[in-house]
Amino acid sequence: MNFEEELTDKVQDIEQLLRRYLPKEEGFQRTVLQAMNYSVLGGGKRLRPLLMREVFLHCGGENEAILEPFMAALEMIHTYSLVHDDLPAMDNDDYRRGRRTTHVVYGEDMAILAGDGLLNYAFETAMKAFDTASGTEYPRVAGALRVLAAKAGVYGMIGGQVCDVESESRQEVISAEKLLFIHEHKTAALIEAAMMIGGILAGAGEEPVRGLEKAAYDIGIAFQIQDDILDVTGSEEVLGKPIGSDERNGKQTYVSIYGLQKSVEDVEGLSREAIALLKLTEDSFLYGLITWLIHREK
Amino acid sequence: MNFEEELTDKVQDIEQLLRRYLPKEEGFQRTVLQAMNYSVLGGGKRLRPLLMREVFLHCGGENEAILEPFMAALEMIHTYSLVHDDLPAMDNDDYRRGRRTTHVVYGEDMAILAGDGLLNYAFETAMKAFDTASGTEYPRVAGALRVLAAKAGVYGMIGGQVCDVESESRQEVISAEKLLFIHEHKTAALIEAAMMIGGILAGAGEEPVRGLEKAAYDIGIAFQIQDDILDVTGSEEVLGKPIGSDERNGKQTYVSIYGLQKSVEDVEGLSREAIALLKLTEDSFLYGLITWLIHREK
């Protein structure tokens, strides 16, 4: 099986896992449950749960019963952030991945509540890991919960989103420092959560988990720079959105600040560093995944 | 010290506790931190943390170091729900407790993110209890976290809010069953969380915690019915909002469905049941608190 086939299999596996953890669409609150499920099952790379499981296996993790709730939880958090980002008061996007956004289908009020519901349900879901955790796994689940909450919050993803939204609404020319802050928080934080949680649940100690955090940071930043590169060099057909839209909107990107050449070099350098930190061999799936992420065309 | 003085002291104590647990307003994400703090420090009865601590003490709890993070967390969750409720896409309220609402001061985008931030920070805050929990307290903290998440989510508070929002936007004449669902979830669920968590952290077993849940349910429903009664019988000056506004808006309430007499009787009956379940004596503060809540004039 080549990398692409393995990737397709693993992503399909995650789709099934997500369906198992999503709520049943019943009761007086049915509409919000439908809106939550519609949002989560809208496709996507499933990058975060994918990375979480691969790191878990890479670190010798065995009991997937404590891992799976966290895989689902992290994807719920990623999804809620997109639902709220797309709202009229934020980016005001009517389409995402070729489908109508949640507020277009269910109304703005339901989209706000579906986002709230997903964030809250993510924690409910992750806490299910306590049910099957053994004595030694119990503190690992608690540790993983704390990383999940920290990386998703105002000192993680939300913090980056706030800074991004505010800079855009002020139409300010942002500094390289602020741009890095946005990328670190809005993009890298949840990748860090994915990989750290994979390690923590597998029983990795403090120092190895710090190594995972650094590797995840590199991957997150490289991933974001590649996004900015694709906005300039990509094909509209492949990307499914207009090329150069960031540039036309006057949005500062890594490429507009550092130029294309340094951007491409940095993506390479960061991914090489991540691979070295993780001590990956070329035949491992995780090696293939990181390489694919960095060289993707959409 | 009479009941009112004791209440004032205890509420002031909670205000100080909240300030200790709120984030410092610094960093590139400063605005959202300001918006979060503005929202939480807007006054209110502080009923949920108050009930949590009183039940904790009533159940023989001693280590307040594991309790306090949960008191702050629950008030953050209550506050985020108000911030999102007040949004233009929801109730569109410009004022709450005589102050401008969060979205009026900080903008709609920042209010959405401040709500998200508060919900997430609530879990971060509650998880701090793991830091000081002893071996026997560790699973109590995990149990309390699960109750917090369950009662705040789509099968708790959010579920009630969804049903309420949807019924109002459809201007439907709701059934007594649906009205009870809304009250149970939108109002009672967080009261249940408060009292159950107080008990769990104090080391109460499964059955006593179920008793606390039932008593909290009674208090929550009685509290809500009293709200509906005050909307009909209260004084505008005391309430700080127009009397009969629910009625004029064609909103179904407990009073409009069951009439004033049965409503008043039910408030009495429910509060008597709660007091019996908790085995409270008339001289206890908790007895005074429940009685005060039920007979309040605003």
Q: Are residues A161 and B113, on separate chains, in Cβ contact within 8 Å?
A: yes
Answer whether B108 touches A (CB < 8 Å): yes
- From the list A142, A152, A158, which residue is nearest B113 (CB)? A158
Burial of A78 (0-12, 13-18, 19+ CB in 10 A): buried
Contacts of B121 in chain A (CB under 8 A): 153-154
ipTM: 0.95
Q: Is A100 helix (H, G, I), strand (E, B) or coil?
A: strand
- From the list B28, B155, B163, which residue is nearest A163 (CB)? B28
Identify from B84, B87, B101, B109 which residue to disrupt to test chain A contact, counting A C-beta atoms within 10 A and taking the largest count.
Answer: B109
Tally of residues, chain B? 298
pLDDT of res. B252: 83
Q: pLDDT averaged over chain B?
A: 94
Strand partners, A95: A100
Query: Which B-chain residues 50-89 have CB contacts (< 8 A) with chain A?
Result: 80, 84, 87-89
In the block, residue with structure tokens 């590169």: A229
Q: Is A95 helix (H, G, I), strand (E, B) or coil?
A: strand
DSSP, res A188: I
A191-195, B12-16, B23-27, B292-296: least confidently modelled range: B292-296
Q: Return d(Cα A180, Cα A162) in angstroms, integer.
A: 14
| CB-CB contact of B111 with B100 (8 Å) | no
pLDDT at B239 over 60: no
Average pLDDT over residues B10-38: 98
Q: What angle do CA A84, B32, B23 make, to 5 degrees?
A: 125
Strand partners, B95: B100
pLDDT of res. A173: 87
pLDDT of res. A162: 97
- The band of B173, judged by pLDDT with boundaries at 50, 70 and 90, is confident
Contacts of A160 in chain B (CB under 8 A): 29
Q: Return d(Cα B243, Cα B248) in angstroms, integer.
A: 9
pLDDT of res. A244: 66
pLDDT at B238 over 80: no
Record the pTM: 0.96
Query: Which A-chain residues 118-177 have CB contacts (< 8 A) with chain B?
Result: 119-121, 123-124, 127, 130, 138-139, 141-142, 145-146, 149-150, 152-155, 158-163, 165-166, 169
Q: Return d(Cα B183, Cα B255) in angstroms, integer.
A: 13
pLDDT of res. A243: 64
Per-residue pLDDT of chain A (298 residues), as tens digits, is 899 999 999 999 999 999 999 999 999 999 999 999 999 999 899 999 999 999 999 999 999 999 999 999 999 999 999 999 999 999 999 999 999 999 999 999 999 999 999 999 999 999 999 999 999 999 999 999 999 999 999 999 999 999 999 998 888 889 999 999 999 999 999 999 999 999 999 999 999 999 999 999 999 999 999 999 998 887 666 655 666 666 666 778 999 999 999 999 999 999 999 999 999 999 999 999 999 988 887 7
pLDDT of res. A82: 98
Q: Return d(Cα A151, Cα A155) in angstroms, integer.
A: 7
Residue B171 φ then ψ, to 5°: 50, 40
Identify from A21, A22, A26, A28 which residue to disrupt to test chain B contact, counting B C-beta atoms within 10 A and taking the largest count.
Answer: A28
pLDDT in tens, B80-111: 999 999 999 999 999 999 999 999 999 999 99
CA A293 to chain centre: 12
pLDDT of res. A297: 78
Q: Are residues A158 and B27, on separate chains, in Cβ contact within 8 Å?
A: no
Average pLDDT over residues B68-81: 98
Q: Are residues B153 and A124, on separate chains, in Cβ contact within 8 Å?
A: yes
